[in-house]
């Protein structure tokens, strides 16, 4: 089903509106709520001189609308302030860190969908039985577990105590050096593959496994719970009954017909939970010393690096809005009934 151009245009306009909303909220938050924004911007140990500079950079001596003008123009010019922890422009830091996070988050999402959706469907088909109750309990448990805690516990058990898996970082530095591994795109799986570097590829995957699993617990639980309840609901619908009456075997009804009804909303909600997962990555990356956006954000938070914090917040919110848009378009594309 082709998506109508009108809809795409309308949806893009909505995206612009949302982005402006995000900027408005962050403006109010950073410039209007704090009594002295320069204190936050320059860091807790700033000198009088640095504070004065910060006031100038933020145009705090000008009226609010001038401040807003500079805020927006700086944002669109890519000047997102300077992190006082790393002493470099925030946007640079963020873009450098992005691939590491994307690699982690994408892996976590693959895990979540590959395991979560079949698990939910299995549970639905065993509705009310013991195995259904077990899966249900486990997924509720998964959604109730603080990601930072389970990250710490598993890292200690599997990484530090038993040494089964690496306790942190993305790759063994020595191995990477010896084999001449060059991070080109920043996606290490991709880089090691294109360079045909098998030892590094295996090492990268080993490093990826634990943090990706921890990060996937929440979306995995979510997709499993959703696909379970949707499958139960769909199997009770009239169209499933008619296919049964007309002699289509149960297996085919479930895996060809009902599956599509389940997948469309599950994909949508998985897409939306990507936002939450990116925030979860703040904690997971911090624990596993994973040099991505989350680690950057986590360190910024722990050291109160305010420009960096706000930079991450805006970037993730923008990312989330774009995902929202993509999910909407996919939804329209997959479901012939949605015509907006």
Instruction: Answer whether 310's CB lies under 8 Å from 30's CB.
Output: yes
Q: Which of residues 295-334 bind other proteins (CB under 8 A)?
A: 298, 301-302, 304, 306, 309-310, 313, 316-317, 320-321, 324, 334
Tell which one of 56, 62, 173, 237 touches other proteins (CB under 8 A): 237
Tell which one of 18, 46, 91, 190 touches other proteins (CB under 8 A): 18
| Beta bridge pairs of residue 82 | 89
Count residues contacting other proteins (CB under 8 A)?
Answer: 81
Q: Which of residues 119-148 bind other proteins (CB under 8 A)?
A: 127-128, 133, 136-137, 140-141, 143-148
The alpha carbons of the chain give a radius of gyration, in whole angstroms, of 24
Q: Which of residues 253-282 bind other proteins (CB under 8 A)?
A: 256-258, 260-261, 264, 275-276, 278-279, 282
| HSE, side-chain direction, 13 A CA sphere, residue 152 | 5
Q: Judging by beta carbons within 10 Å of its beta carbon (0-12, 13-18, 19+), is residue 327 exposed, middle or buried? A: middle
Q: Which of residues 35-94 bind other proteins (CB under 8 A)?
A: 40
Tell which one of 149, 177, 255, 333 touches other proteins (CB under 8 A): 149
Tell which one of 4, 16, 21, 182 touches other proteins (CB under 8 A): 21
Residues 6+ apart with CB under 8 A from 147: 214, 215, 217, 218, 280, 283, 284
Rounded to whole angstroms, the Cα distance separating 338 from 328 reads 10
Site string for other proteins, 161-180 (x = CB under 8 A): x-------------------
Q: Shortest Cβ distance from residue 304 to other proteins (Å)?
A: 7
| Beta bridge pairs of residue 89 | 82
Structure tokens at 233: 């609901």
Which residue, 61 or 144, has its beta carbon nearer to other proteins? 144
Q: Shortest Cβ distance from residue 339 to other proteins (Å)?
A: 9
222 binds other proteins (CB under 8 A): no
Phi-psi region of 182 (alpha: psi -120 to 50; beta: other; left: phi over 0): beta
Q: Shortest Cβ distance from residue 306 to other proteins (Å)?
A: 7
249 binds other proteins (CB under 8 A): yes
CB atoms inside a 10 Å sphere around CB 146: 10
30 binds other proteins (CB under 8 A): yes
Residues 6+ apart with CB under 8 A from 234: 240, 258, 261, 262
Which residue, 200 or 317, has its beta carbon nearer to other proteins? 317
């Amino acid at each position: 089903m082709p998506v109508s151009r009108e809809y795409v245009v309308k949806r893009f306009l909505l995206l612009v509106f949302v982005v402006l909303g995000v900027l408005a909220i962050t403006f109010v938050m950073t410039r209007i709520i704090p009594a002295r924004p320069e204190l936050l911007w320059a860091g807790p140990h700033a000198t009088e001189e640095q504070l004065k500079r910060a006031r100038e950079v933020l145009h705090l001596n000008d009226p609010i609308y001038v401040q807003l003008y500079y805020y927006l123009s700086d944002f669109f010019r890519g000047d997102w302030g300077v992190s006082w922890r790393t002493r470099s422009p925030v946007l640079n830091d963020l873009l450098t860190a992005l691939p590491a996070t994307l690699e982690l988050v994408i892996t976590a999402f693959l895990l979540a969908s590959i395991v979560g959706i079949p698990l939910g469907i299995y549970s639905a088909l065993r509705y009310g039985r013991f195995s259904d109750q077990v899966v249900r309990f486990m997924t509720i448990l998964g959604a109730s577990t603080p990601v930072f805690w389970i990250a710490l516990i598993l890292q200690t058990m599997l990484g530090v105590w038993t040494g089964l898996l690496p306790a942190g970082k993305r790759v063994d530095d020595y191995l990477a050096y010896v084999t001449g591994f060059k991070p080109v795109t920043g996606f290490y799986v991709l880089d090691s593959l294109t360079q045909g570097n098998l030892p590094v590829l295996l090492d990268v995957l080993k490093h990826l496994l634990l943090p990706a699993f921890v990060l996937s617990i929440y979306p995995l639980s979510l997709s499993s719970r959703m696909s379970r309840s949707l499958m139960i609901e769909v199997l009770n619908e009239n169209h499933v009954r008619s296919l049964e009456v007309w002699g289509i075997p149960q297996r085919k009804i479930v895996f060809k017909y009902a599956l599509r009804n389940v997948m469309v909303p599950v994909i949508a909600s998985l897409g939306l939970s990507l936002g939450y997962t990116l925030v979860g990555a703040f904690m997971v990356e911090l624990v596993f010393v994973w040099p991505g956006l989350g680690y950057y954000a986590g360190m910024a938070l722990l050291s109160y690096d305010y420009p960096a914090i706000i930079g991450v917040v805006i970037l993730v919110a923008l990312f989330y809005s774009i995902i929202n848009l993509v999910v909407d378009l996919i939804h329209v594309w997959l479901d012939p009934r949605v015509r907006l």
